[in-house]
Structure 1
Amino acid sequence: MECQIKNICCIGAGYVGGPTMAVIAQKCPHIQVNVVDINRERIRNWNEKDLERLPIYEPGLKKIIEECRGENLHFSNEVEKNIETADMIFISVNTPTKKKGIGAGQASDLKWIEASARKIAEYANGKTIVVEKSTLPVKTAEVIKNILEFSNVDQTKYKTQSKSFTVLSNPEFLSEGTAIKDLENPDRVLIGGDNEESIKALVNIYLNWVDETKILTTDLWSSELSKLTANAFLAQRISSINSISALCESTGADINDVATAIGADKRIGSHFLQSGPGFGGSCFKKDILNLIYICNHYGLNHVSSYWIQVLEINNWQKKRISNIVVNKLFGTISGKKIAVLGFAFKANTNDTRESAAIDICKDLIEEGANLNIYDPKVSLSQIENDLFTLKTNNQINYPIESTVTICKLIIEAIKDSDAIIVLTEWEEFKHLNWEEISSLMRKPSWLFDTRSICDLKKAKSYGINVWRVGMDNEKN
């Protein structure tokens, strides 16, 4: 008998859980979708009448929330209640890198995964399909299965039905900034499992809008490893092109021309060949560290060394850019004002996790610069939280408040600055008024374009010195 899914519960209302469940609710109006989280402020923001205050910014998300919220899409802190009524439960909680203990600095911390599994074991009723949505180490499904099957739960209060669980892996392959488009028209949907009935139930949900040819089914372990590997390969491409950007600057080649030429090769393709300040986001670094840990665990030290280099190039690129700014400004930026345009790790998201901007700003602060930071979507409190950790970690020895100003307008950030550094590829930074900007800056003024999006010729025509990643800046 085919399993009919009527109620879905998603544990975790973050960057994956919120948008994913919103799209499922929109495409499956016959299914009630409940997104739960213990974070009360996050849930309050998801329920805000003012849709501009949603906790996540993604193009297209606001429209779906407006359409489905209160109909078949609900956000609450009622974790136990919604687990009890769910036919299918998605686990979409955070899996940060461990900070201490075995595997510290590399292995994923699975405490929230385990906590979710124990909640499900205690409160679920009847047959329940549990779906891994978080990015997880290989064999995590085994841990979840053991908890669900062997948790010491008092069964006496469940008089009318017994419990049974199946576990599936359904990793997300979203790119922040295009997450809704990725969900609505995915390259592939990957489902790993060993129970045909449960797999079919999840496949049927996606068939409401995804072509069957895009739905791939595998075993659990292949599905879990595919997610880690996909992120590692994407990060590798970014580190590779960034390493060549430095070579271009030294040899007179242009990284944009090189990327276009190699991207035209159908065996390589053009995606993720844009040189920049380094990759960020919640997944790339974390997943590569996890991959390194797994490789070392199985004695594959040469493999782990390979992936370590991807991270080292990424860190080197950020430090290299910071050093270039200092060197171009006569070897010192102490007391100088620098306008930082962009703080999110990429455009069209308000996510700052592992953003290259954080490390570059840290370097500039440590050199004594005064920073004016502007980002169109990242909140004042988020920037403060990301930068104030510098002070709490004792990485600087003077008050950060006197060195950083968060600005609401681009012009406010640029006024009286010695230099502008573009760190996020927001569309509005492509169309800056260089005539006006040049009149507001202190001379000699500099533009550091780490995203290759600014009109350098126009900036130069108004007397601004320019530097762009991956270009012979002495020649141009």
Structure 2
Amino acid sequence: MRLTVFGTGYLGATHAACMAELGHDVVGVDVDPGKVAKLSDGVTPFFEPGLEPVLRRNLDAGRLRFTTSYPEAAAHADVHFLGVGTPQKKGEYAADLKYVHAVVDSLAPLLERPSVIIGKSTVPVGTARDLGVRARAAASVDVEVAWNPEFLREGFAVKDTLRPDRLVLGVDGARERADWVAEQVREIYAELLAAEIPFLLTDLATAELVKVSANAFLATKISFINAVSEVCEATGADVTVLADALGYDARIGRRFLNAGLGFGGGCLPKDIRAFMARSGELGADHAVAFLREVDNINMRRRTKVVDMAARAVGGSLLGANVAVLGAAFKPESDDVRDSPALNVAGMIQLHGAVVTVYDPKAVDNSRRVFPTLNYATSVAEACDRADVVLVLTEWDEFTALGPEDLNPVVRTRSIIDGRNCLERARWRRGGWVYAGLGTP
């Protein structure tokens, strides 16, 4: 099939490349000429394992190209995916839909044949219905709006697109062409359906709520174990063993029960806040009031690590030399949006410390956000004469470290494990002062 994908950020570029990998003729569209030029050369403007080979293979095969031209995109296909960002509004919890509106307002008047716009972005419930009204008011032909939420994990985005856990499609059942929309999507994902990926056909509101509900649940699970870790710290209990014990319960499971610095990135924090904002607009804010505490618990972990760093250097960070290993919000990503690691590094610097950060992939992005921090090109350089070392992103390079690796370079043998990812007994045997979150 001939498809377009509007937006070539993390979601859009991945979706465009993977739709071409499924054999479709795909045009990716973006208003940023720099992004379009990079992608056209087979270079992703962000780090995502496995994506560049898929991108280059399909560019070479002629199944994929990128453009800034909306008229070209409108003429290319009748099925248009919407993958632009929905960031948090400045000074508010609500999602900013200006990029979504811009695509629909620009695309709809250019359509010359009956078409469908399929949303991938995470949006407040009710957005798809409103976009349908908006698109049909601007178009001279019949336009349908459907919603097909993404469930991508950074670091696993290609796998999650080509072999997802499930496919969800929301359609407006009151529209005469609702069945046609579903048929188009089934044809797009024919290979996935043949592989028996579950396909759920829903109304628009349910499809919108599935993604934000999934993120809210995961955020709640992470904050739950971090709340328990606070109790563990007060009692001397071990949250890692406790989580293992909980994980054997099939009703609970072990995934996302890792206590530590908490969640960040471009999805979970802003999505749960937008969920709270939209629920308030609908008069159902009481139903998700618990998410405010979920958010509070998560943010409290960051200040906890700053306090731990201060204690590790004698009570005051003023003049201390602090090494921070990790800047991305998670491993296998260069994403520093709302990164707990980078946030902690910045707060420690504001307390007067000299902070040196090293991350295998996220240094360039970090420098753009926090240019005043020092940045290193290796673990050894970051830890040179450090008074305390903080491990804040669980990259394999860091979890493989042992005391013997850092003994020659640090000034004080003190390490804070912000992700509970190190073998603490090994570090203590090596003569280090080890501190984790929720662990004795």
TM-score by length of 1: 0.88
Pair 1:213–1:19, CA change in 2 (3 A): closer
Following superposition, the deviation at residue 174 of structure 1 comes to 0.8
The one-letter code sitting in structure 1 at the alignment partner of 2:420 is: S
The one-letter code sitting in structure 1 at the alignment partner of 2:411 is: R
Within the candidate set 290, 301, 325, 2:274 is matched to: 290
**SS, match of residue 23 in structure 1:** helix
Q: Is 2:193 the partner of 1:206?
A: no
Q: Is 2:49 the partner of 1:59?
A: yes
The match for 2:305 is 321
Q: Is 2:381 the partner of 1:417?
A: no
CA contact (8 A) 1:9 1:33 kept: yes
Pair 1:76–1:215, CA change in 2 (3 A): same
CA contact (8 A) 2:163 2:197 kept: no
**SS, match of residue 230 in structure 2:** helix
Pair 1:39–1:188, CA change in 2 (3 A): same
CA contact (8 A) 1:9 1:34 kept: yes
The one-letter code sitting in structure 2 at the alignment partner of 1:167 is: V
Looking at structure 1, the residues matched to 349 and 304 of structure 2 have their Cα atoms a distance apart, in angstroms, of 15
Deviations 1:193-228 (A, max 9, x none): 030111111122112134345111100111011111
Point out the more displaced range, 253-262 or 214-223: 253-262
Deviations 1:433-452 (A, max 9, x none): 42131121113x31111112
The match for 2:126 is 139
Following superposition, the deviation at residue 243 of structure 1 comes to 0.9
Following superposition, the deviation at residue 84 of structure 1 comes to 2.3
The match for 1:222 is 206
CA contact (8 A) 1:85 1:125 kept: no
**SS, match of residue 69 in structure 1:** helix
The match for 2:416 is 448
Deviations 1:170-208 (A, max 9, x none): 000111111112122211110010301111111221121
The match for 2:432 is 464
Looking at structure 2, the residues matched to 418 and 270 of structure 1 have their Cα atoms a distance apart, in angstroms, of 34
The match for 1:344 is 328
The one-letter code sitting in structure 2 at the alignment partner of 1:116 is: V
Q: Is 2:428 the partner of 1:428?
A: no
Q: Is 2:79 the partner of 1:84?
A: no
The one-letter code sitting in structure 2 at the alignment partner of 1:175 is: R
Q: Is 2:5 the partner of 1:10?
A: yes
Pair 1:150–1:304, CA change in 2 (3 A): same
**SS, match of residue 209 in structure 1:** helix
The match for 2:21 is 26
Following superposition, the deviation at residue 78 of structure 1 comes to 2.3
Looking at structure 2, the residues matched to 415 and 80 of structure 1 have their Cα atoms a distance apart, in angstroms, of 55
The match for 1:111 is 98
**SS, match of residue 192 in structure 2:** coil
Following superposition, the deviation at residue 304 of structure 1 comes to 3.7
**SS, match of residue 260 in structure 2:** coil
RMSD: 1.6
Following superposition, the deviation at residue 423 of structure 1 comes to 0.8
Following superposition, the deviation at residue 76 of structure 1 comes to 2.4
The one-letter code sitting in structure 2 at the alignment partner of 1:65 is: L
Following superposition, the deviation at residue 144 of structure 1 comes to 1.2
**SS, match of residue 16 in structure 1:** helix
TM-score by length of 2: 0.95
CA contact (8 A) 2:212 2:271 kept: yes
Segments of 5+ residues of structure 2 without an aligned counterpart are: none
The match for 1:392 is none
Deviations 1:136-190 (A, max 9, x none): 1111112211221112x6x6xxxxxxx2211110000111111112122211110
The match for 1:121 is 108
CA contact (8 A) 1:11 1:93 kept: yes
Q: Is 2:382 the partner of 1:387?
A: no
CA contact (8 A) 1:85 1:124 kept: no
Deviations 1:314-344 (A, max 9, x none): 1111111111111221111111111111111
CA contact (8 A) 1:372 1:406 kept: yes
Looking at structure 2, the residues matched to 306 and 75 of structure 1 have their Cα atoms a distance apart, in angstroms, of 43
The one-letter code sitting in structure 2 at the alignment partner of 1:21 is: A
Looking at structure 2, the residues matched to 365 and 80 of structure 1 have their Cα atoms a distance apart, in angstroms, of 49
Looking at structure 2, the residues matched to 276 and 43 of structure 1 have their Cα atoms a distance apart, in angstroms, of 38
Following superposition, the deviation at residue 56 of structure 1 comes to 2.2
Looking at structure 1, the residues matched to 344 and 379 of structure 2 have their Cα atoms a distance apart, in angstroms, of 19
Segments of 5+ residues of structure 1 without an aligned counterpart are: 1-5, 156-162, 389-399
Q: Is 2:58 the partner of 1:68?
A: yes
Following superposition, the deviation at residue 462 of structure 1 comes to 3.0
